[in-house]
């Protein structure tokens, strides 16, 4: 996919609209994970260094009623962005109007401002998330060019991406969006083989289309996490009190048939009687899970089975944890596989597909040992499904 990027623009003196994804977790007004901010820094530094006038905006959380605004203001994010850039970031606490227009018009080359949470517009008829044409046109009027660097919302058709693009002459990808297109899109189109895909997480229903698409692309698909128990049930095994989508058992059978041996399931699991971080853990064969126990992690034999398959790969895609990694006692499977993939940085292309698997890798301190960690959860999943993402489609072709 040959898309124009920020490198294709002359930015000096231009008012540069930049859609970023600063939808970061916060607690009591304090950012608890700033990875998405850090990932946007190369694009913003490039605009500043080239003499552009950066107008930065993002959504944060969900805004359903006025009381949601206070806890979802981007003010703390703007402050932290300024610290990371070591540069003053002017924060404009509105999403439209004279104060914003005046602030934009006062920008000088190399300046940067951020305006308030785009979702504040959703209080008035969901104008942002429903791609209100008047709102997209208004935001487009504030700038000369548009840089979309928000992969986390690329699967949504919003006023702040598609709406702006429809009303401005030039739309390009920032460095982060470019990376997502290159590593996820490029890998799915022309992977270096063998390609091994690892899928975890809770539900088969969340990843039906991902599995189907990856079966067309991958050489092996390893399945763990909560979704594995629906597949074990499809093989005729009792799964005790494990997470199970009973209405998806027949679908799991169909996927196993469709796979033609590409799907690799485990041989053993770690179980517990209760969903509790201190619950006693047991190792059980997949065909011997007691009626009063639930699967919490992949077992040691499965870890070795998965490890062997992964180490043979030239490309690895991973989406979804392989157990209840939030509980230290049941994190060993996810941590082991993360460590194995991390060891392959110099020999394979290794991609983490956002969401909980990205959180796990970062929590283990391994984030620098992967080729690419996606900043999009839902966007990554839809990209893995082979879908066309509106936020990428709206970027100008080269």
Question: Annotated catalytic sites, by residue?
Answer: 36, 203, 355, 378
Write out 238-292 in H/E/C secondary structure.
CCCCCCCCHHHHHHHHHHHHHHCCCEECCCEEEEECCCCCCCCCEEEECCCCCCC
User: Considering only CA atoms, which of 292, 296, 298 is closest in space to residue 275?
Assistant: 296
- Hunting for tokens 């996820």 — which residue is that? 184
**Is residue 355 a contact partner of residue 380, using CB atoms and an 8 Å limit?**
yes
**Is residue 384 a contact partner of residue 317, using CB atoms and an 8 Å limit?**
yes
CA dist 166 and 60 (Å) reads 23
Token couple for 5: 């990027």
284: burial class by Cβ within 10 Å (0-12, 13-18, 19+)?
middle
Helix, strand, or coil (residue 92): strand
CA dist 156 and 168 (Å) reads 19
Q: What are phi and psi of 52, to 5 degrees?
A: -80, 165
28: burial class by Cβ within 10 Å (0-12, 13-18, 19+)?
exposed
Cβ neighbours, 10 Å, residue 258: 13
């Amino acid at each position: 996919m040959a898309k124009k990027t920020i490198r294709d623009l002359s930015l000096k003196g231009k008012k540069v609209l930049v859609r970023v994804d600063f939808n970061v977790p916060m607690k009591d007004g304090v950012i608890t994970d700033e990875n998405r901010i850090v990932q946007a820094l190369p694009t913003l530094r490039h605009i500043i260094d080239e003499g552009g006038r950066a107008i930065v905006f993002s959504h944060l959380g969900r805004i359903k009623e006025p009381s949601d605004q206070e806890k979802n203001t981007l003010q703390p994010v703007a402050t932290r962005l300024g610290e990371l850039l070591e540069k003053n970031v002017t924060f404009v606490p509105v999403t439209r109007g004279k104060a914003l227009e005046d602030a934009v018009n006062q920008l000088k080359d190399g300046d940067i401002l951020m305006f308030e949470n785009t979702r504040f517009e959703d209080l008035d008829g969901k104008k942002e998330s429903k791609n209100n044409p008047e709102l997209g046109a208004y935001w487009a009027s504030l700038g000369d060019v548009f840089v979309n660097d928000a992969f986390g919302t690329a699967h949504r058709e919003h006023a702040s991406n598609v709406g702006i693009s429809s009303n401005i002459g030039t739309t390009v990808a920032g460095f982060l969006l470019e990376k997502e297109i290159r590593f996820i899109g490029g890998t799915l189109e022309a992977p270096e083989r063998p390609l091994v895909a690892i899928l975890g997480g809770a539900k088969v229903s969340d990843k039906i289309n991902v599995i189907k698409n990856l079966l067309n692309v991958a050489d092996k698909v390893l399945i763990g996490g909560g979704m594995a128990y629906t597949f074990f049930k499809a093989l005729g095994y009792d799964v005790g009190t494990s997470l199970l989508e009973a209405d998806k058992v027949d679908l799991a059978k169909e996927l196993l048939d469709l796979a033609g041996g590409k799907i690799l399931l485990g041989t053993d699991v770690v179980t517990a009687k209760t969903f509790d971080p201190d619950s006693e853990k047991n190792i059980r064969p997949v065909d011997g899970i007691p009626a009063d126990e639930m699967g919490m992690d992949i077992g040691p034999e499965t870890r070795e089975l998965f490890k062997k398959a992964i180490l043979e790969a030239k490309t690895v895609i991973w989406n979804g944890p392989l157990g209840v990694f939030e509980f230290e006692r049941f994190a060993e499977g996810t941590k082991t596989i993360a460590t194995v993939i991390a060891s392959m940085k110099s020999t394979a292309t290794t991609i983490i597909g956002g969401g909980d698997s990205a959180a796990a890798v970062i929590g283990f301190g391994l984030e620098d040992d992967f080729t690419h960690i996606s900043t999009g959860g839902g966007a990554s999943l839809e990209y893995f499904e082979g879908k066309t993402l509106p936020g990428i489609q709206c970027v100008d072709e080269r």
